[in-house]
Each structure stands twice: as structure tokens, then as C-alpha cells.
Chains A and B, each alone.
Chain A
Amino acid sequence: MKMLAIIRREYLERVRTKGFVISTLLLPLLMSLTMLVPMLTMKSIDTRNTIGLIDPSGTYFAALDAALAAQQDARVSLIPIPVAGGDVAAAAAGLQDQIRDESLDGGVVIGDDFIGVPKATFYSRSVSGSIIREDLQPALDRVLRQTRFERAGVPDSLHSYLLERVSWESLSVGDEGEATRRDEQGVFVLAFILIIMLYMMVLLYGQQTLTAVIEEKSSRVVEVLLSSVPSSQLMFGKVVGIGGAGLTQMAIWVAVLVYMAGQGISVAGLSFDASFLTPLILGSFVIFFVLGFLLFSMMYAGVGALCNTIQEAQPFATPIMMFVVIPMLLLSMVLRAPSSTLATVLSLIPMFSPVLMFIRVCLSTPPLWQVLLSWVLMSLTIWLMSRAAGKLFRVGILMNGSAPNWATLVRTLRQPD
């Protein structure tokens, strides 16, 4: 088949270059470096925060220190600040000086009667919320409760029972079948990965399609090609061939990432519970990614077909990127109400489907027909655009100086292949 020959040529021409091999190897290399460096430096640099404690009663330091030590990955070590002559204000001023000259990372001031009036003040150069939320607050809470239990005469055996917190599980109700377990963070991470991958591929290879189409016009092979193949097939073949090269690279990268993740190396700090990755989600991830990528590449091919130089194409190429960005802006809205009519309509727009329909698949399992419809619509758009791009290519080519006018454009678009 002719189109297969074109796809094969475009694919091999790209995959065989040194640049392709190098860039394919470079990314995993860079990534392992970015992971190795923090791992190495982590050992040499103490990342613990030293926090001063002003405790006028002088009775809570031991209990707090013990509570912090009991916490997993606490990043805080506590040192007591003496309160000379009961002057808390002076001690607090001294504490702030120490924070200012960076001999302390922060400081906590609690009152005389902490158990009666459980109030704490936190000082630091930059208010780091996570230290308070994840380390100090639980420790203070624990000391408060434990002391109150003791004062109320609650037996020790009941302490852990009373201190136990609610463990949460989020389930979402799909249109059919059982409620399924959802990992909101995981969904977000996966959608984020899809967007990043799509963005990267569109930038790297979509743009390449544009360049390739423009080059094909200036290359002199084109007349021979056009005397053998309908131009829409030429466009389609080019997009699929170049895309294939891009997908190959992406597949290698993903394989490396999955391997690294499997080795327990957290990838770029992202780790998530993989249990929500149903075959439907994984399968649609691949389909949305491939269709989305082809769709955007085809748009680039169309712009390339219209223009004669890269400079001329730039202003037309920028809006294409907008179609990748807009779904990100709509994301929060769809996240809030994934099954609303508006979300449904937006997610069916072919340019938005890869991101919006995919996130709906992750969140709430929309009816299968909607997912299938979005695939059909995307494929249809790709096909229509390949035809239009092919025809535009024909008009744009060999114009010999005279710019195409609307009449020629319309006539060309209506002409059968």
C-alpha cells in the first residue's frame, strides 16, 4: 500500500538518525541524574529543622520530644530555650534573634498553662506550613490529649483507643456496577502525566510535522510524489510516520520510567497508589494519547501546508498550543462536576477530549458510549483534517509567487482527490 510506504520512509528516516538515538537515551539519563543527586546530597546535608521551644512551665519538652520522635519522618528536632526570670517576652525576642541569624530554623512559644489554654505561636523566617501541619501540630495535639486523659484519670490502656483517628476511604459511584475506590491524588497525577506527555510530544514532534511539510514543499521531490499519491495520503502518511517515531521514543521513555518505579525509585517525587489503574483507564490513556497526538500533529501539518516558510507559520502555530492549554484551565471545573452537561459537552470536543474525557474516565466512569463517541469524533477530525491539509498542500505548492485567493482555496477543498 502506498501510504504504508510513506509511513515507513518517514519513520525510518527519523529513527535512524543519531539525534533520535541520542535524545532517546538522554532523557532517562538526565532523569536518573536528577534522582541520584538528591539521594547523594540527602546523606551529607542535614535537612532537619531545629526548632526552639519556649515553655515557661518547663514541663512539656520531654513529652513533645518523645511525641516527635514517635512520628515517622519528622523533620523537626526540638531544643528548649530557657526562660530567664519568667520573662517570656524577653525569651521570645531572643528566640527571634536566633531565627534571624539562622542559628534556629524556627521557634514555638506555648503558654504557662498549655493544657488549660492550648495555644501555640510559631515563628520562622518563612512560614513553612507543612512543618506545622505535619510535624508540630500532631505532636502538640498528642501531648495535650495525653495529659488531659491523665488528669481526668483515664486508664493508660484506653489512651491509644481514644486517640485513634478516622481512616478515610473515598468511593465514587459509577453509572453501573459497584462503587469503585478512587485515589484522587492518583487521578490527578495520571491526568497530569497525560497532559505533560501530550504537551511534550506536541511540542517535539507536532512542530516537526510542520517543518517536514514545509520542507517537503521546498524540496523538489514533491512533484514526483504528487504524481503518484493523493496529497491527503501523503499528509496522513507523514503525520503517522513522524508520530510513530515520536511514539517509539515515548514508549522507550515510559518503559524506563516504569522500570525505575518498579525498582522503588520515586519518579520526580511522584508516587501514587496504582491500584485504581483499571484496564479501562490504562487502555483509554493510550488511546487518548495516540489520538490526541495525531490530532495535534495533523493540525500542524495543515498549517505547514498553508505556509511557505517557518516564520510565516509561527503565528498560525501558536493557536494550536492554545488547544492544549485550554483544557488545563477547564480541568478544575470538570473535576468539580465530572458528570454535568457542560463537562460532557466540553469533553466531547475533539481537541479537548484527550484531557477532559480522560479525566472523566478516571473520575466517574462516564457512559461507555460517550467515551467511544469521543474516539470516533477524534478519528473523524483527524481524517477530515488530513484531507483538508492535503488539499491545502496542493494549493500552497507551486504557487509561483501568486498568493492563493479564497476562490482557489474553496475550489481546491471541494475538488475530489
Chain B
Amino acid sequence: MAPAFLHVNDLGKSYGQVRAVDGISLEIPRGSIYGFLGPNGSGKTTTIRCIMNIILADRGEILFDGRPLDRLLLDRVGYLPEERGLYRKMKCAEQLAFLATLKSVPRKEAMRRAEAWLERLGLGEWKDRKVDALSKGMQQKVQFAATFLFEPDLVILDEPFSGLDPLNVETMRDIIREQNARGCTIILSTHMLAEAEKLCDSVCLIEGGRKVLDGTLEAVRTDFPLKSVRVAYAGGKEPPARLPGIAHRVFQDDSWRLTLEAGANTDAVLDALRAAGQLTLFAANRPALDEIFLSVVRERRAAAGTEAAS
């Protein structure tokens, strides 16, 4: 794994009695697309605001390239906040150029890039229109452009796809991939796990202000205990209805999907299945990210519930 670009160590932030972030540590590899995942209210946005120094963390350490966020670094970091907004009375191109000059891009260059980006996003004819006149989706695209316009080294996107149609989501996804190829490290905070799965190299899952799991996407998926297998028999024979270690079976597409009981021994299951006939398929059914997500979150919430009860 590449050395960490952003290093978060034991971050904590409370609002009154509520611990929004409770000791989160992250290592975000340079050049990665990092999925920052979690359900609503899990502390994603608070963590990001602390990273961007918009709110003051109660404790913890945040290092960019080994040093805390200072004015010089600010010019290399892009941020698309969850609560989006632009100056409504400003013209699109001017607005983009203004935001870029705030990242130390010279004004002329900023104006040139602003127009190029608007052109690319299909908003070329809107450049001299006020933001007010744009549809919500268009405004979001303008803001997306503002985040990348100054060619940052690190970009934090908080729920970038919310409110966009599939076509626009694809445009955004292309931009993210392209910017990543340019060398930009991207942190993608989202609860749309299918999107994260398509884009991310590494992910981190947080829940209740705490990190639940993290690692490369591959590692997270392989390490997750196997929940189901797919099998098929020669001649389309059905698997036995009752087998030790198997909770239930369902025919899906061209194969049977068998859900394993918790703690089932896959070797024992395989032996039993072979005894029943000639297998043409026996495959681990790797869980999708949202399955992992759901099962982990439910487990934790159940554990927290019993803890609270006792």
C-alpha cells in the first residue's frame, strides 16, 4: 500500500452529550479513491468538517503529508460539502473563477479554466447566466467543477451523487476517475455503496462515530465471513433440502444459492454436498459491499442494544 497522504489519529468531537465522532483513526493512501462509508448520522460529515478544519475537533490529530492543515495546504485540498451552495446572484463562470482565485489561481487563468470546465460539463451557454437560473442538477455540476478547477492534490467529496440522475452520476464518476488518474487522491463519503464499490480502491466503514472496518476493497470483501455459496449439480439435480450447516436454499439464475448458518464449516458443507451427487459448480458467493455494510451495522447495533440492556 502506498504511504498515507492523509493521516487521522484518534479524532473526537462531541456536540453536547452526543459523541458524533468517537476516536476515529484513518490512513488514506496517496493516489487512492477512498470510500468513507457509513449510514446517516454515523459521523461522516463531522469527521470531514474536522479534517477541513471547519469545526474544531475536541481531540485527535490530523496530518496532511505529515503536517497539520495550514494556509499553503488549503490551496491543494478541494472540498465539496454535503450542504452545497453557491452565490445565487453571481454568474456561473465568474463564480467558478472567484472560487478558484480563493485557491490562489491567478484570475485570468481561473476564468479560462472556468469556461473550459463549463463547456465540458455541457453548460457552456450558461456561463454568463446567474446561478439562480440553473436547475439543481446544473448547480451541482457547477459546484463539482469548482472542487476540481484548481487541480488539487486531495479532494474530499461529501455525498457527491445525491440528487443527481444516473446520466449525471456517470459524468461525475468519469471526472473522479480522470482526476484520480491525474494523481489526485480522492475521499468519497457516501452511503451509496454500489457507487463506492464501482469507484473505490480502499474503504472505511464507520458507525456510531467509530470505525468498524477498513482496508482495500478486496481485503474487506475477502476477510468478511462467507455467508453463502452457489452450487449446481450435473443434470440440474436439486441439492438436498436439508443439510447440516445450511439455513436455506433458493434457485437463482442458473444455480442454487445456499445461505450458510453462522459458524458453519465450509469443508463439512462441501463434503455433504459432494455426497449428494456430482457437483458442476461450487463457488464462494462474495458479498457485495452493502451486504457487508448491513450485516456489520446490524451486528453492532444489536450488540450495543444488549449492552445497554444489561
Name A residues whose Cβ lies closer than 8 Å to a Cβ of B.
2, 5-6, 9, 13, 219-230, 394-395, 397-398, 400-402, 408, 411-412, 415, 417
Contacts and interface: CB of A to CB of B under 8 A. Distances in A.
B285 interface: no
A2 B104 CA distance: 7
Most A-side CB within 10 Å, residue of B54, B56, B146:
B54
A4 to B, nearest CB: 8
Contacts of A395: 56
Contacts of A411: 56
Given A13-B89, A402-B16, A224 B99 contact: yes
A400 B87 CA distance: 22
Contacts, number: 73
Contact of B54 (A219, A221, A398, A417): A398
B96 to A, nearest CB: 11
A9 B94 CA distance: 10
B56 A412 contact: yes
Nearest to B97: A5
A398 B86 contact: no
Interface string B87-109: 10110000000110111100100
Given A219-B85, A400-B15, A224 B146 contact: yes
Contact of A5 (B56, B84, B85, B107): B107
A408 B99 contact: no
B87 A221 contact: yes
A3 B52 CA distance: 20
Contacts of A224: 79, 81, 85, 99, 143, 146
B52 A227 contact: yes
A2 B99 CA distance: 9
B156 to A, nearest CB: 9
9 contacts: A5-B98, A221-B85, A222-B85, A224-B79, A227-B81, A228-B102, A397-B54, A398-B55, A412-B56
Nearest to B82: A223
B83 interface: yes
B59 to A, nearest CB: 12
B177 interface: no
B90 A13 contact: yes
Interface in B65-81: 71, 74-75, 77-79, 81
A6 B99 CA distance: 10
A408 B15 CA distance: 11
A387 to B, nearest CB: 14
A175 B102 CA distance: 49
By Cβ-Cβ distance, the 4 closest A-B pairs, closest first, are A220-B85, A223-B81, A228-B102, A227-B79
B interface, how many residues as a size bin?
A: 20 to 34
A398 B83 CA distance: 11
B101 A2 contact: yes
Interface of B: 15-16, 49, 52-56, 71, 74-75, 77-79, 81, 83-87, 89-90, 98-99, 101-104, 107, 143, 146
Contacts of B102: 2, 5-6, 225, 228-229
Given A223-B52, A228-B75, A229-B102, 14 more contacts: A5-B98, A5-B107, A13-B90, A221-B86, A223-B49, A224-B81, A224-B85, A224-B99, A227-B53, A227-B78, A227-B79, A228-B74, A228-B102, A402-B16
B136 to A, nearest CB: 13
Contacts of B49: 223, 398
A401 B15 contact: yes
A401 B15 CA distance: 9
Contact of A228 (B15, B56, B99, B107): B99
A220 B136 CA distance: 14
A220 B84 contact: yes
B162 to A, nearest CB: 14
A222 B54 CA distance: 10
B89 A415 contact: no
Nearest to A218: B85
A315 to B, nearest CB: 25
A9 B77 CA distance: 22
B48 to A, nearest CB: 10
Nearest to B14: A402
Nearest to A223: B81
Contacts of B81: 220, 223-224, 227
Given A219-B85, A400-B15, A415 B56 contact: yes
A227 B83 CA distance: 13
Contacts of A13: 87, 89-90
Contacts of B15: 400-402
Nearest to B101: A5
B81 to A, nearest CB: 4
Contacts of A402: 15-16
Contacts of B143: 224
Nearest to B156: A227
A311 B56 CA distance: 27
B54 A228 contact: no
A227 B156 CA distance: 11
B147 to A, nearest CB: 8
Listed residue (A226, A228, A400, A412) with the most chain B CB atoms within 10 angstroms of its CB: A228
A219 B16 CA distance: 24
Contacts of A400: 15
Contacts of A220: 81, 83-85
A412 B58 CA distance: 11
Contacts of B84: 220
